[in-house]
Amino acid sequence: MPALEKAGIKYRAMAQTRHSFATNALSCGENPLWIAKVMGHRNTEMIIKVYGKYVEDAKGVEDGSSLNNIYQESLGNEK
């Protein structure tokens, strides 16, 4: 607590830091399997169920567009 006060950082409960970690990791495009492992979960069910709703697409584009772009490029077409 003294270190947080000295740094001017507001105290956060451990559960909040776990939520921040998971949400930030998903936002950065980290693999949900890795996130689940680091957080001690058996599988990605909890990660997807709890945190997936906060991260629609890590790249900030419409869902499905990344896969569509790869498909279109493989055909030699543009959007």
Mean pLDDT of 48-60: 73
Q: Which pLDDT score is estimated for 39?
A: 93
Which sequence spans correspond to the domains of the chain?
2-75
CB atoms within 10 A of CB 31: 11
Mean pLDDT of 55-60: 63
Q: Which pLDDT score is estimated for 61?
A: 62
Q: Which pLDDT score is estimated for 35?
A: 93
Task: State pTM to two decimals.
Answer: 0.59
- Name which of 19-28, 30-39, 48-57 the model is least confident about: 48-57
The DSSP letter of residue 58 is T
- Choose between 74 and 37: higher pLDDT: 37
